[in-house]
Copies of this chain bind each other. A is one copy, B any other.
Amino acid sequence: MPDGNLPLTDTHISLAHGNGGRFMRELIEAIFRRHLGAPDGERPLDTDADAVRLPDLDGPVYTTVDGFAVHPIEFPGGDIGSLAVHGTVNDLSVAGAIPRYLTLSAFLEEGLDVEVLDRVVASLARAADAAGVRVVAGDTKVVPRGHGGGIYFSVAGIGVGDPGLALGMDRIRPGDAILVSGPVGDHGTAVMLAREAFGLHGDVRSDCASVFPLAQTLSGINGIRFLRDPTRGGLATVMHEIARATGLRVELEEGAIPVNDAVRSVCEILGYDPLYLACEGRCVAVVAGEIAAHALARWQDLDEGRHAALIGHVGAGRAEVILNTPIGGQRRLEELEDDPLPRIC
């Protein structure tokens, strides 16, 4: 059924859509079941069940949860629906798990345009299909006008451990190399520009995507220590997490870190540092120095990683994050303090 032909008479969300009665049932059928509960079983959401039994899982069970409050709800390169799938899929992927099932909790604000909800749930369903995960359970709450941000989603994920990826911060050693799978800061910049609050326009698109292919291609390689997706707080924050957890020095080569020209320009105008801006489809890997070139080549063979780069290494000094500049200088990258960009994810 085309999106412009929504099987619901209401055009906007009202409090009655959250009360457990007829309006709520009709909303759930018209939007959530229509997109996520296709009868062929490929989209198995059962909107009548309290809890659902999953098919047997062929390995150790992993779980995670992520909340999504991005504003605006739709932005170049994605929307809160695709972002919610990718954010949760990515948390499972970087932990060494194969994403399988999602649950979806929605907080809708009274007055929300039903067509917007329809578009983002359709987008969520497409992103789930593409990432190979299924939405198996859901819940909808409606909050009064002025008590919400249009749409908030929480997505929990269940996956199965990949025996070829044994990962952990505690595996990181001095001499390890640091890779990033592509340019940083695109998502944060795209969302910022989409707010039209800065009088700037640009063609920056969010990098919002699943990083599972990036994790999967490293599976089975001996010496893959740790993976993480640099979301809130950006690349710099992941580096601080590594330095703090390991007690080791992290050194980045500024000139090696990929940043798109458009992102760099916007950041220069507005005074942001792209190293602190969120990505939603990039992956950082810490790998043993001797397999760094091999792992990098694996990434560069994928569409998702064709601009991957080796950007630094872990050293034996005290826990701090150092940026080596192209002209031979060094500066300390501080931990992020103030939030320049609320509701970025």
Contacts and interface: CB of A to CB of B under 8 A. Distances in A.
At the interface, is chain A mostly helix, strand, loop or mixed? mixed
Interface stretch (A103-111, A123-131, A288-296): A103-111
A61 interface: yes
Interface in A315-345: 335-343, 345
A16 B276 CA distance: 13
Nearest to A169: B48
A51 B335 contact: no
Contact of A52 (B62, B66, B232): B62
A50 B20 contact: no
Given A48-B241, A51-B64, A228-B50, A105 B154 contact: yes
Interface string A113-150: 00000000000000000000000111111111011110
A95 interface: yes
A82 to B, nearest CB: 17
**Copies of this subunit:** 2
B67 A106 contact: yes
Contacts of A37: none
Interface of A: 14-16, 18-24, 48-54, 56-57, 60-69, 71, 90-92, 94-95, 97, 101, 103-107, 110, 136-144, 146-149, 152, 154, 156-159, 161, 169, 228-229, 231-234, 237, 241, 245, 278, 335-343, 345
11 contacts: A19-B232, A21-B237, A50-B64, A51-B63, A53-B60, A57-B61, A65-B139, A67-B105, A67-B107, A105-B154, A147-B148
Nearest to A156: B156
B157 A51 contact: yes
A261 to B, nearest CB: 25
B335 A63 contact: no
Contacts of A67: 105-107, 139-141, 154
A232 to B, nearest CB: 3
B169 A65 contact: no
A67 B106 CA distance: 7
Contacts of A159: 51
A154 B151 CA distance: 14
Contact of A16 (B229, B231, B338): B338
B107 A21 contact: no
A113 to B, nearest CB: 17
Q: With a 10 A CB-CB cut-off, give which of A64, A234, A340 has the most chain B CB atoms.
A: A64
A49 B245 CA distance: 11
A147 B144 contact: no
